[in-house]
Structure 1
């Protein structure tokens, strides 16, 4: 017998985009976490290390604020994670050359070696994971970017 309670606006859980996104995100993050164990990195540490490397390759002046904006990780968490990475000897933070309020961030040689290896593993996993999208992967990415734009406007 079907319930008459209409708490939810969907008939099936699979009709809820948010619930599906939550499930897929958890599955993806769980597998990324497994892939990063051998590098002794959390997912947040990986994202900040990879972003530091990416932005440096793009000739950006890498600061904590830029990393926070680029990764969408809040500034306080960014600072905490960067401190942990500095303690591990994977990056260095120092006073910015021209902005006394800012901290410049750079990878150490060890940090570069670690992130170059970790990126290969993560990108290989992503290729396998998102292969289920087939030719629709580019369109999927466009839709994710649209969702990010919405959340930026809501802030």
Structure 2
């Protein structure tokens, strides 16, 4: 049996789906989500976990995504399989948002009962839905009902440009780390490897300090990552002839080979990630 709830809101369809895509922000607007982790973002096949405010943490997988319109997820609860999704229908002025959930398995009946009990505590039948939270948060902003934090000039973290930038960066980095996992690299490791490859492409002598200055990263952080890359056989470091205090950095054959395979994957991910944000 599938349980569905629909709600009409004045928010444009693209704006609502943009909230879905920004997985890291779900707990900020979804009344039912305490925490969520999807390192590859809202893309078909992405896996992670979701922790409801009242309920056990569940392993989840994105089963289907129709960009700008809907997504479907599946999760594993104790002796129960859960499928749920969100579907949007816009009419140019507003959006009809539908949330649905289906439970199956030996304890499916129990989770259906708990779901219905929760709905009975909300007579409107949809006040616990994420879309209703969006509408309610918008109403509070308009009527000034949000309690302002005195030290801040913003109504909340979600409207702070710095906090938004941080969320987007963390989302981008987690997704990229997922794509780099088959290459046994992290995003900072790839950045240093790629910069070394770029700066030495014509046989130039490049020092570790040159890499630090190019990336704008902390010197000690770069040193620690370079030590790991050297231990993995991806780079070599030697004393610079011009300055014995400096370390010359070069890629090994293994480093060049791994970088050559990783770069197209990273560039494809960047195009995908930023295209989704331009479409908002």
Match among 209, 223, 229 for residue 85 of structure 1: 229
- Which blocks of at least 5 consecutive residues in structure 1 are unaligned? 136-155
2:260 matched residue in structure 1: 116
Number of matched pairs = 135
1:75 equivalent to 2:219? Answer yes
SS class of match (1:41): coil
Superposition misfits of 4+ residues, deviation over 6 angstroms: none
RMSD: 1.9
SS class of match (2:175): helix
Q: Is the 8 A contact 2:149 2:156 kept in 1?
A: no
If you compute each CA radius of gyration, which structure gives the higher value, 1 or 2? 2
1:106 equivalent to 2:250? Answer yes
TM-score, normalised to structure 1's length? 0.79
2:168 matched residue in structure 1: 24
C-alpha spacing 1:64/1:23, structure 2 compared with 1 (3 Å)? same
SS class of match (1:57): coil
- Which blocks of at least 5 consecutive residues in structure 2 are unaligned? 1-144
C-alpha spacing 1:115/1:9, structure 2 compared with 1 (3 Å)? same
2:37 matched residue in structure 1: none
SS class of match (1:94): strand
Higher strand share: 2
Higher helix share: 1
